[in-house]
């Protein structure tokens, strides 16, 4: 079993390994996924879960595990998703062994950008996503003047290199792209597990000196 990567001391731990007190459904009801042994598993039909905390620019780490579904194929095989700011989905899927992943496969920004390489481990193994996210910049009228820029590492390998997203992927919580947003984990009906979910908020601009956190 792969060891957990410890969170930095100043990180916001979104999932404490014991309960989902900081998570809600899209409708604001208590999150009802299954928590056990420091991880949390999708409960099919319970719906997506959404962090109460909202973020603008951030670094995020989480670990996920897809179930073993040897008979399933394509989008029915270990599907879930990690929505950054609740608006931009990095696909979670069992794409292990796929030669040329596309815009719907694991590590894709759904329907926008395929991952650079297939970094997937087999099902039933823990895998990591590390994300560096720069929110879109909007003007006073709410128009985007600089798009989202985001870098994603999958199991330590860069799979999205500072890509500029044209806008939210399908099924966002809203389209208020100038507003901070939560982390959202998708219920796509499959028993995907998550653990060790943490976020570091990042300053919006460069500085000569940074306040200690
Ligand atoms: Mg998905």
Domain residues of the chain, as ranges?
A: 15-201
pLDDT digits (tens, 9 = 90+) for 131-165: 999 999 999 998 999 999 999 999 999 999 999 99
Long-range contacts of 37-41 (CB under 8 A, 24+ apart): 38/4, 38/195, 38/196, 39/65, 39/193, 39/194, 39/195, 40/15, 40/193, 40/194, 40/195, 41/191, 41/192, 41/193, 41/194
pLDDT cut 90: percent of the chain above it: 91
Q: How far, in Å, from the CA of 211 to the mean position of ligand 1?
A: 38
Q: How far, in Å, from the CA of 11 to the mean position of ligand 1?
A: 26
Q: How far, in Å, from the CA of 167 to the mean position of ligand 1?
A: 17
- Among 1-10, 26-35, 168-177, where is mean pLDDT lowest? 1-10
Q: How far, in Å, from the CA of 46 to the mean position of ligand 1?
A: 15
pLDDT of residue 21: 94
End-to-end Cα spacing for the chain:
33
Q: How confident is the model at residue 212 (pLDDT cuts 50, 70, 90)?
A: low
Q: How far, in Å, from the CA of 90 to the mean position of ligand 1?
A: 7
Neighbouring residues of 115: CB distance < 8 A, sequence distance ≥ 6: 101, 105, 106, 107, 108, 152, 154, 159, 160
pLDDT digits (tens, 9 = 90+) for 191-202: 999 999 999 999
Q: How far, in Å, from the CA of 72 to the mean position of ligand 1?
A: 15
The CATH number for 15-201, chosen from 2.60.120.10, 2.60.120.560, 2.50.20.10, 3.40.190.10, is 2.60.120.560
On average, the pLDDT of the chain sits at: 95
Residue 183, pLDDT above cutoff 90: yes
Q: How far, in Å, from the CA of 137 to the mean position of ligand 1?
A: 26
Provide the 10 A C-beta neighbour count for residue 14.
Answer: 24
Q: How far, in Å, from the CA of 192 to the mean position of ligand 1?
A: 11
Residues within 5 A (CB) of ion ligand 1: 79, 81, 91, 188
Strands 193-201 and 39-41: antiparallel
Please state the rounded mean pLDDT for residues 99-121.
Answer: 97
Q: How confident is the model at residue 106 (pLDDT cuts 50, 70, 90)?
A: very high
């Amino acid at each position: 079993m792969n060891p957990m990567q410890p969170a930095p001391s100043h990180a916001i731990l979104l999932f404490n390994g014991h309960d989902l007190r900081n998570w809600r459904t899209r409708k604001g009801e208590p999150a009802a996924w299954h928590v056990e042994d420091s991880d949390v598993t999708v409960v099919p039909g319970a719906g997506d879960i959404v962090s109460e905390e909202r973020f603008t620019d951030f670094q995020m780490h989480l670990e996920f595990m897809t179930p073993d579904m040897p008979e399933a194929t394509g989008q029915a095989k270990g599907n879930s998703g990690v929505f950054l700011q609740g608006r931009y989905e990095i696909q979670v899927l069992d794409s292990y062994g796929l030669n040329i992943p596309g815009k719907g496969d694991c590590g894709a920004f759904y329907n926008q950008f395929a991952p650079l390489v297939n970094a997937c481990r087999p099902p039933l193994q823990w895998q990591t996503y590390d994300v560096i996210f720069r929110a879109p910049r909007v003007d006073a009228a709410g128009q985007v003047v600089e798009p989202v820029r985001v870098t994603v590492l999958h199991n330590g390998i860069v799979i999205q290199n500072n890509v500029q997203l044209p806008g939210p992927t399908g099924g966002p919580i809203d389209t208020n792209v100038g507003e901070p947003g939560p982390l959202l984990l998708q219920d796509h009906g499959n028993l995907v597990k998550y653990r060790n979910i943490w976020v570091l908020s990042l300053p919006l601009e460069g500085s000569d000196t940074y306040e200690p956190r």
